[in-house]
């Protein structure tokens, strides 16, 4: 009897081990065609902003990019030991990008491994590896080191979209028909030159150059110590951080404020100057005052010719944790407007500032992009194009 019980327990234990091993063997199954946050690193706002940006990117260029977060590459029993091999095989397993062009992109973060990978389709070759490495080093790793994973993924995604959008635009222009050249008739005089004065464009250009020159001079001119009356030296990099508060260091990391610290070589006094950057996507926080508040907008109810709409404005400060959600009523559409789903875009505050990312809601359309499931297999969404990667891209660790 005792032997029978021991044998039964051994068989049951073996079966349970087999079930667990089977459940965690194989690459994760895509739950969404744009964002698969298996490690749950993204905030709800950032997940919606990323998905909307990637959907608009695909609509405008035909290029399919996907964001994936996992805990570790070892969690799936694939035998992969590096994020490079895991990323390339996951890319090919899902078939990201167009089958003919092979122009897809995968942004993969393995948080417990402390590694990130941007995998590119084989259509790019090695020409974009350096730019992807720059995105990782400058836009993602600084945030990851401070455990701002959601922000780093958002900023990195925006940079990838911008770079690959420029490539898609260049390719589209190369295929466009050559316009017929205009033949200049010297016998016809221009009305802008008839008065003998300078063209308005030249005048405006001169004003712009003068203003930019004054701004540059104000920012870079030599400072003098008010006590010693000697020239102060400007500190660089980590040397200036000792004079910045934690909030100011965060503003510097986010790129929302440009700080300059000047120090007197004789008495040691220093002068701190901070200038907000015009194109930053961060606003001043209502609570702590630092320019570390991300603002995003989502249309929850689209207006029609008969009913108004609603827009939710989300505000979140990365310095003090302040959060607020405001609801704004959108006016009824004028009768002459042909209303479609894309009449009101979902503008998300990102590196593009207040520009709209594109149409469609930030809903996951029935997909559970935040799932931590370890289901294996190929994509079941039916929206992947069968693209492949040959291992090009870039990696980083923190």
Q: Is residue 362 part of a domain?
A: no
231 and 330 inside one domain? no
3-state secondary structure of 295: strand
Could you give the percent of the chain with pLDDT greater than 90? 29
Q: Is residue 358 part of a domain?
A: no
242 and 303 inside one domain? no
Q: Is residue 21 part of a domain?
A: no
pLDDT, residue 384, reads 86
pLDDT, residue 238, reads 74
273 and 230 inside one domain? yes
Q: Is residue 380 part of a domain?
A: no
Single pTM value for the model: 0.52
259 and 245 inside one domain? yes
Q: Is residue 214 part of a domain?
A: no
pLDDT greater at residue 229 or residue 117: 117
Question: Distance (Å, rounded) from C-alpha 131 to C-alpha 125?
Answer: 12
Q: Is residue 205 part of a domain?
A: no
pLDDT, residue 120, reads 94
The residue from 280, 311, 327 where one domain ends is 280
pLDDT digits (tens, 9 = 90+) for 374-391: 444 444 445 788 888 888
248 and 168 inside one domain? no
* Phi-psi group of 40: left, alpha or beta (phi > 0 → left; psi -120 to 50 → alpha; rest → beta): left
pLDDT, residue 220, reads 57
pLDDT digits (tens, 9 = 90+) for 296-347: 888 888 888 788 888 888 888 998 988 888 888 888 888 764 444 444 444 3
pLDDT, residue 7, reads 57
Q: Is residue 81 part of a domain?
A: yes
36 and 123 inside one domain? yes
- Mean pLDDT calculated for residue range 185-191: 47
276 and 292 inside one domain? no
Range of the domain at 315: 282-352
243 and 334 inside one domain? no
268 and 251 inside one domain? yes
- Mean pLDDT calculated for residue range 58-66: 92
Question: Distance (Å, rounded) from C-alpha 234 to C-alpha 278?
Answer: 23
Q: Supply the mean pLDDT for the chain.
A: 77
The domain total for the chain is: 3
* Phi-psi group of 370: left, alpha or beta (phi > 0 → left; psi -120 to 50 → alpha; rest → beta): alpha
309 and 346 inside one domain? yes
267 and 336 inside one domain? no
pLDDT digits (tens, 9 = 90+) for 1-26: 556 556 556 665 555 555 444 444 58
45 and 107 inside one domain? yes
Could you give the percent of the chain with pLDDT greater than 70? 71
Sheet with 105-110, side-by-side order of all strands: 35-37, 65-70, 105-110, 115-120, 393-397
Q: Is residue 46 part of a domain?
A: yes
């Amino acid at each position: 009897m005792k032997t029978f019980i021991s044998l039964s327990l051994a068989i049951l234990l073996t079966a349970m081990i087999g079930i667990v091993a089977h459940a965690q063997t194989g690459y994760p199954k895509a739950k969404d065609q744009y964002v698969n946050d298996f490690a749950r690193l993204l905030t709800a706002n950032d997940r919606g902003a990323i998905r909307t940006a990637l959907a608009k990117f695909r609509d405008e260029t035909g290029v399919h990019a996907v964001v994936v977060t996992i805990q570790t590459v070892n969690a799936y029993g694939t035998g992969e030991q590096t994020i490079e091999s895991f990323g390339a095989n996951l890319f090919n397993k899902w078939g990201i990008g167009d089958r003919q062009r092979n122009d897809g992109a995968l942004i993969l973060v393995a948080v417990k491994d402390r590694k990130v990978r941007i995998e590119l389709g084989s259509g790019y070759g090695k020409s974009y590896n350096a730019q992807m490495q720059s995105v990782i080093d400058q836009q993602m790793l600084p945030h990851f080191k401070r455990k701002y994973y959601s922000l780093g993924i958002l900023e990195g995604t925006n940079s990838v979209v911008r770079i690959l959008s420029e490539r898609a635009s260049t390719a589209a222009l190369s295929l466009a028909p050559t316009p017929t050249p205009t033949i200049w008739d010297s016998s016809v005089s221009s009305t802008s030159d008839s008065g003998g004065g300078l063209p308005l464009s030249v005048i405006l250009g001169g004003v712009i150059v003068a203003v930019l020159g004054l701004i540059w001079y104000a920012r870079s001119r030599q400072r003098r110590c008010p006590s010693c009356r000697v020239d102060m030296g400007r500190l660089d990099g980590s040397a200036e951080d000792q004079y910045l508060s934690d909030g100011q260091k965060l503003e510097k990391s986010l790129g929302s404020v440009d700080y300059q610290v000047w120090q007197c070589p004789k008495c040691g006094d220093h002068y701190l100057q901070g200038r907000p950057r015009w194109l930053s996507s961060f606003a001043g926080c209502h609570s702590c005052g630092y320019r570390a508040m991300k603002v995003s907008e989502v249309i929850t109810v689209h207006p029609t010719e008969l009913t108004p709409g609603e827009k939710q404005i989300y505000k979140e400060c990365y310095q003090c944790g302040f959060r607020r959600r405001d609801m704004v009523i959108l006016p009824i559409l004028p009768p002459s407007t042909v209303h479609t789903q894309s009449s009101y875009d979902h503008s998300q505050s990102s590196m593009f500032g207040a520009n709209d990312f594109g149409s469609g809601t930030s809903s996951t359309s029935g997909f559970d992009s935040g799932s931590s499931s370890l289901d294996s297999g190929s994509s079941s969404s039916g929206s992947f194009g069968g693209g492949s990667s040959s291992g090009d891209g870039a990696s980083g660790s923190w």
